C-alpha cells in the first residue's frame, strides 16, 4: 500500500493553498493532493464569470455567515486580503482592484490563478486528479484512505472537499460523510447560498426577464423586525430573480424561511426613496402623472407592470392623465407599497446546481482555529467550503479558502 505523510483530499482553492503551505513549511515530507475530478480547479475557472474574483480589498467577518463572526475573524486575520495579494504577486499573479473593491487578476483570466497555484503546489507535492476518495478510516497510527485508486496510508489528512454547490465540478458533499465517519457532526441544515430565487409560474415578474436595476431587498420577520437588507443590482429572469442583491440575500432568506415560514422578502425598486418619502411626493406632486413619475425612475416594462398591479388594469387611462396628487389615499398607498415594499412571492430557489456556495457544514467549534485541526480526530484538518462558513459576493468565499487553507497547510 502506498504511504504518504500528508494527504489532502480536494484540489480546489482551499486544498491547493493547504498543499502549498504544507510544502513550504516542511518540504521534506511526501505531500499528495487527491481530487475526484478528471480536471482539477473547475470552480476556480468558472469563478467571477471566468475572471476569478480572488479576494476583496476590505475583508471583514461581517461579509460572512454560518459560524460566529468572532470565530471567522480568528481565521481571516491569520491570512488577510493584503497577504493574499502579496502571495499571488509572489506567484506571478498581479491583482487589480475594481471600483466595487473586488480584486481580480490583471489578466482578467481565472486560468492565470489556477495555473500559478498548480505550478507552486507541484514544487513540493503531487496532485492526482481522477482519484476519488470514498472513505477515510482512522486506524490510530495512521489513516487508511480508500477510493477508486485503491488504498493509501496517510499520517495526516486535510479534508478540503468543498460543499455541494455545482456538483458537476466534483464537489458533491461526499466530504461531509467522510467527516461524519471520523466523528464530526454537521449543522442541522445544509442549503444553497448565493443562489437565484424562483417565483410562481405565471407571476408577472417572469415577464420582466432581462430587466436589471439597482434595488434594495429587505427581509422581514412577521413581527415587522428587519432581519437583513442588501442594496445592489437585481436581474429579473424567466424563472424569477437573480443578480448580486438576490444572491447575497438568498442565504438569509432561505435560512430564515426554514425556521419561520412567514418571513417576508420585499423589493424597493427605487432605493433612494423610502415608503413615507414616496407617499409625500405623491401627495405634493401636481405636474406629473403616475406614468410620468415612474417613467423617470424605472424601465418602461416595469412601470407598466407596477401601475397595473397598483391601480388595476382598468386604470391605464387614469395613470396616464391624472396628476399623482389626485390619486385617492388608497391608490397612493398601493402605489407606494408596490414601488418601495413589493413583497416577492418566493416559490423556491434554483438549488445546488446553480448555487455559488453552500451554507452550513462542519461546525467551527469542532476545530482548533489556529491550526484548523480537528478537536475530535487527531491529525485531521479541514479548510474551505466544507466548513460552516459562507461569504457574500465579492471574493469573500475564496478569501475563506485562502485563509483556512493557509492555516491547515502550515499546521499539518
By the criterion CB under 6 A, which residues form the site for ligand FAD? Answer: 9-15, 34-37, 40, 43, 46-48, 52-53, 132-133, 160-162, 165-166, 170-171, 174-175, 356-357, 384-385, 395-398, 401
How buried is 144 (Cβ within 10 angstroms: 0-12 exposed, 13-18 middle, 19+ buried)? middle
Closest-CA residue to 307 (of 324, 296, 298, 319): 319
Q: Are 372 and 408 in contact (CB under 8 A)?
A: yes
Cβ of residue 158: shortest distance to ligand FAD, in angstroms? 11
- Do the strands 380-382 and 150-159 form a parallel or antiparallel pair, or are they unpaired? parallel
Comparison of 52 and 152: residue with beta carbon closer to ligand FAD: 52
Report the nearest approach of ligand FAD to the CB of residue 385 (Å): 4
Nearer to ligand FAD, 40 or 121 (CB): 40
Nearer residue to ligand FAD within complex by CB, 50 or 183: 50
Cβ-based nearer residue to ligand FAD, 94 or 226:
94
Question: What minimum distance in Å lies between the beta carbon of 16 and ligand FAD?
Answer: 7
**Nearer residue to ligand FAD within complex by CB, 243 or 290:** 243
- What does the alpha-carbon distance between residue 120 and residue 122 come to, in Å, rounded to a whole number? 6
Rounded to a whole number of angstroms, the minimum distance from the CB of residue 102 to ligand FAD is 8
Closest among 84, 108, 80 to 96, alpha carbons compared: 108
Query: Quick one: 171 or 403, whose CB is closer to ligand FAD?
Result: 171
Q: How far is the CB of 53 from ligand FAD (least distance, A)?
A: 3
196 versus 384: smaller Cβ distance to ligand FAD: 384
Minimum CB–partner distance for residue 264 and ligand FAD (Å): 28
- 195 in Cβ contact with 252 (< 8 Å): no
Q: Which is nearer to ligand FAD, 9 or 236 (CB)?
A: 9
Closest CA to 347 of 232, 198, 239: 198
Q: Distance between CA atoms of 309 and 116, rounded to whole angstroms?
A: 53
C-alpha cell at 256: 430564515
Q: Which is nearer to ligand FAD, 175 or 244 (CB)?
A: 175
Q: How far is the CB of 372 from ligand FAD (least distance, A)?
A: 12
The residue among 197 and 307 lying less far from ligand FAD, judged by its C-beta, is: 197
Nearest approach in angstroms of CB 94 to ligand FAD is: 17
In which residue are the cell numbers 504544507 written?
22
Shortest Å distance, C-beta 126 to ligand FAD? 14
Least distance (Å) between residue 157 CB and ligand FAD = 11
Amino acid at each position: 500500500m502506498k504511504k504518504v505523510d500528508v494527504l489532502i483530499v480536494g484540489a480546489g482553492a482551499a486544498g491547493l493553498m493547504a498543499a502549498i503551505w504544507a510544502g513550504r513549511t516542511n518540504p521534506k515530507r511526501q505531500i499528495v493532493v487527491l481530487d475526484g475530478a478528471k480536471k482539477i480547479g473547475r470552480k476556480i475557472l468558472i469563478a467571477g464569470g471566468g475572471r476569478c474574483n480572488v479576494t476583496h480589498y476590505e475583508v471583514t467577518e461581517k461579509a460572512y455567515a454560518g459560524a460566529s463572526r468572532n470565530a471567522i475573524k480568528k481565521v481571516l486575520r491569520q491570512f488577510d486580503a493584503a497577504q493574499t495579494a502579496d502571495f499571488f504577486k509572489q506567484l506571478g499573479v498581479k491583482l487589480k482592484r475594481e471600483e466595487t473593491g473586488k480584486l481580480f487578476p490583471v489578466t482578467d483570466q481565472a486560468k492565470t490563478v489556477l495555473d500559478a497555484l498548480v505550478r507552486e503546489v507541484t514544487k513540493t507535492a503531487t496532485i492526482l486528479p481522477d482519484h476519488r476518495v470514498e472513505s477515510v478510516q482512522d486506524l490510530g497510527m495512521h489513516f487508511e484512505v480508500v477510493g477508486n485508486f485503491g488504498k493509501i496510508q496517510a499520517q495526516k489528512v486535510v479534508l478540503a472537499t468543498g460543499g455541494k454547490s455545482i456538483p458537476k465540478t466534483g464537489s458533491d458533499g461526499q466530504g461531509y460523510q467522510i467527516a461524519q465517519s471520523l466523528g464530526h457532526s454537521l449543522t442541522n441544515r445544509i442549503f444553497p447560498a448565493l443562489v437565484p430565487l424562483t417565483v410562481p409560474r405565471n407571476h408577472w415578474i417572469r415577464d420582466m426577464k432581462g430587466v436589471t436595476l439597482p434595488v434594495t431587498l429587505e427581509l422581514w420577520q412577521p413581527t415587522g423586525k428587519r432581519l437583513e437588507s442588501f442594496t445592489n443590482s437585481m436581474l429579473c429572469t424567466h424563472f424569477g430573480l437573480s443578480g448580486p442583491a438576490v444572491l447575497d440575500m438568498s442565504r438569509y432568506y432561505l435560512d430564515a424561511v426554514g425556521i419561520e415560514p412567514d418571513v417576508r422578502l420585499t423589493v424597493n425598486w427605487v432605493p433612494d426613496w423610502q415608503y413615507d418619502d414616496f407617499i409625500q411626493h405623491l401627495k405634493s406632486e401636481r405636474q406629473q402623472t403616475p406614468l410620468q413619475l415612474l417613467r423617470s425612475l424605472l424601465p418602461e416594462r416595469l412601470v407598466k407592470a407596477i401601475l397595473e398591479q397598483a391601480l388595476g388594469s382598468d386604470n391605464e387611462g387614469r395613470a396616464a392623465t391624472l396628476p399623482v396628487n389626485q390619486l385617492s389615499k388608497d391608490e397612493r398607498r398601493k402605489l407606494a407599497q408596490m414601488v418601495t415594499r413589493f413583497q416577492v412571492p418566493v416559490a423556491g430557489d434554483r438549488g445546488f446546481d446553480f448555487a455559488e456556495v453552500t451554507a452550513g457544514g462542519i461546525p467551527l467549534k469542532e476545530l482548533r482555529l489556529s491550526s484548523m485541526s480537528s478537536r475530535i480526530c487527531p491529525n485531521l484538518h479541514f479548510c474551505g467550503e466544507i466548513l460552516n462558513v459562507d461569504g457574500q459576493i465579492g471574493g469573500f468565499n475564496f478569501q475563506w479558502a485562502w485563509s483556512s487553507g493557509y492555516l491547515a497547510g502550515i499546521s499539518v
